[in-house]
């Protein structure tokens, strides 16, 4: 009878705990599950082109990539470090140091980014971004202007028509 009562109390305690977790603490665990299964990332908008009256492009964008890692998803860190250092032309020690900080390298050309993406390394993500490109370099640079690191216009037409050129980000 004592063993039966002890087992019954344990079962009732477990059922009570389960009800508490499923009913009263459900929101907390639903949020944790969503965070684990869904990852929302911002996709930067491409900045608009500046063209002259003849249709010649004076300012456009080039696709560049940002290589970063998600620590919890890396299965073989040494393999990842060796492959990334080879592809990115960086020393293994430098890549190892940056793997700890998450972001490995920015402004990587698209071909290299695609090559790293094709390797399908667990925990390595390749995000595409845009970098402003001026085909005629300094030609009319004071009029056309330029953008900063955040792709926001700083002087010239880039600032004057910022609202038209900046686009709207997605996710």
pLDDT at 11: 97
Q: Is the pLDDT of residue 14 over 90?
A: yes
Q: Is the pLDDT of residue 144 over 80?
A: yes
Q: CA of 16: how far to CAs of 27, 29, 82, in Å?
A: 18, 17, 51
Q: What is the average pLDDT across 12-19?
A: 95
Measured CA to CA, the distance from residue 80 to residue 67 in angstroms comes to 12
Q: Is the pLDDT of residue 19 over 90?
A: yes
Measured CA to CA, the distance from residue 109 to residue 128 in angstroms comes to 10
Please state the separation of Cα 17 from the chain's center in Å.
39
Measured CA to CA, the distance from residue 91 to residue 24 in angstroms comes to 52
Q: Is the pLDDT of residue 42 over 80?
A: no
- Residue 105's DSSP bridge partners are 67
Q: Is the pLDDT of residue 100 over 90?
A: no
User: 10 Å Cβ neighbour count for 124?
Assistant: 20
Q: How does the average pLDDT of the chain come out, rounded?
A: 86
56 touches 93 (CB < 8 A): no
Please name which of 128, 130, 139, 132 lies closest in space to residue 153, comparing C-alpha atoms. Answer: 132
Kindly report the pTM of this predicted structure.
Answer: 0.59
Measured CA to CA, the distance from residue 4 to residue 106 in angstroms comes to 65
């Amino acid at each position: 009878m004592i063993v039966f009562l002890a087992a019954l109390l344990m079962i009732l305690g477990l059922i009570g705990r389960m009800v508490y977790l499923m009913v009263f603490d459900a929101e907390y665990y639903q949020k944790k599950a969503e965070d684990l299964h869904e990852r929302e990332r911002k996709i930067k908008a491409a900045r608009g082109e500046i063209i002259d009256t003849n249709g010649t492009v004076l300012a456009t964008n080039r696709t560049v990539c940002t290589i970063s890692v998600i620590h919890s998803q890396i299965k073989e860190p040494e393999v990842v470090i060796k492959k990334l250092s080879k592809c990115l032309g960086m020393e293994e020690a430098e890549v190892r140091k940056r793997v700890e900080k998450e972001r490995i390298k920015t402004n990587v050309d698209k071909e290299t980014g695609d090559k790293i993406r094709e390797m399908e390394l667990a925990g390595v993500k390749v995000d595409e971004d845009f970098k402003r490109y001026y085909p005629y370099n300094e030609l009319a640079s004071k009029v056309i202007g330029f953008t900063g690191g955040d792709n926001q216009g700083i002087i010239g037409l880039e600032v004057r028509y910022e609202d038209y050129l900046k686009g709207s980000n997605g996710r």
